[in-house]
Structure 1
């Protein structure tokens, strides 16, 4: 039996999952996992990277199992050359990267950013310090208020 086949079996045993469950996590067929474990052929493409990650990091397994098959792919419109997020420009790469990383991290928790959210983050960068909770709340309330007629 090849080392790859042994590693795939080890991964399943380590996480206590079936071939069917591993196939689902890797988005391949059960038969493909069976072929890998029987050393008929080796994984290729993105499956190789996912298997390597699963073998070395339990957090990857947790993340993969938390993603529902029908869940939409998350994407945040950004431009690494122009330092823009959802069309909102940033003054420099440091502010752009910090905001991009923070926004994406929150998206994993279900946050769906709007352009106004990105502008709010940029305002904090313009101040050179994080906004206080009161400042954030005031800005959100101002944004959500309906003008008097």
Structure 2
């Protein structure tokens, strides 16, 4: 069976909805499923990701239109996020991952949040724990 069709059928989604999630026409999707041609570029990568991860597919479904695009100001060469510099590449990458994953849930980071992540904690960043601390600090500021 064609891999594109297998992915769609595994998620029990109709062609029009799947095509819309991938940002392609139904005709293009039909072409991929029939084997007349194959996906390439970003579509190929996206199919690989959602084919390998139910979580990735679920997150993709949360974004129905372009108005829900998420953008995080960052510079991987300078190791900065929202203008805040990071001392190590590993903490920079962990922070990008933590923030981006939580932005899918509606989290909007502030410069203060990013500064917290950039502080030298003398240990690797635990993204879940760090975001919980940031959120708790915000609750204390709001309530106190």
Superposition TM-score, scaled by structure 1 size: 0.71
For the residue of structure 2 that corresponds to 1:67, the secondary structure is: coil
Shift of 1:127: 5.2
Equivalences, count = 135
1:18 aligned to 2:14? yes
Change (3 A) 1:81 1:67: same
1:60-99 alignment runs, 5 A limit: 60-99=56-95
Would you identify which runs of 4 or more consecutive aligned residues in structure 1 move more than 4 Å? 129-133
* RMSD (Å) for aligned C-alpha atoms: 3.0
* Residue deviations 1:88-121 (CA, integer Å, cap 9, x gap): 1223333333333322222222111121222233
For the residue of structure 2 that corresponds to 1:137, the secondary structure is: helix
1:34 aligned to 2:30? yes
For the residue of structure 1 that corresponds to 2:92, the secondary structure is: helix
- What 5-or-longer segments of structure 1 have no aligned partner? 145-149
* Residue deviations 1:18-57 (CA, integer Å, cap 9, x gap): 1111111111001111222233222222222222233332
CA distance in structure 2 between the aligned counterparts of 1:13 and 1:127, rounded to whole angstroms: 46
Question: Considering only CA atoms, is the larger Rg found in Structure 1 or Structure 2?
Answer: 1
- What 5-or-longer segments of structure 2 have no aligned partner? 124-128
RCO comparison, higher one (Cα < 8 Å, 6+): 2
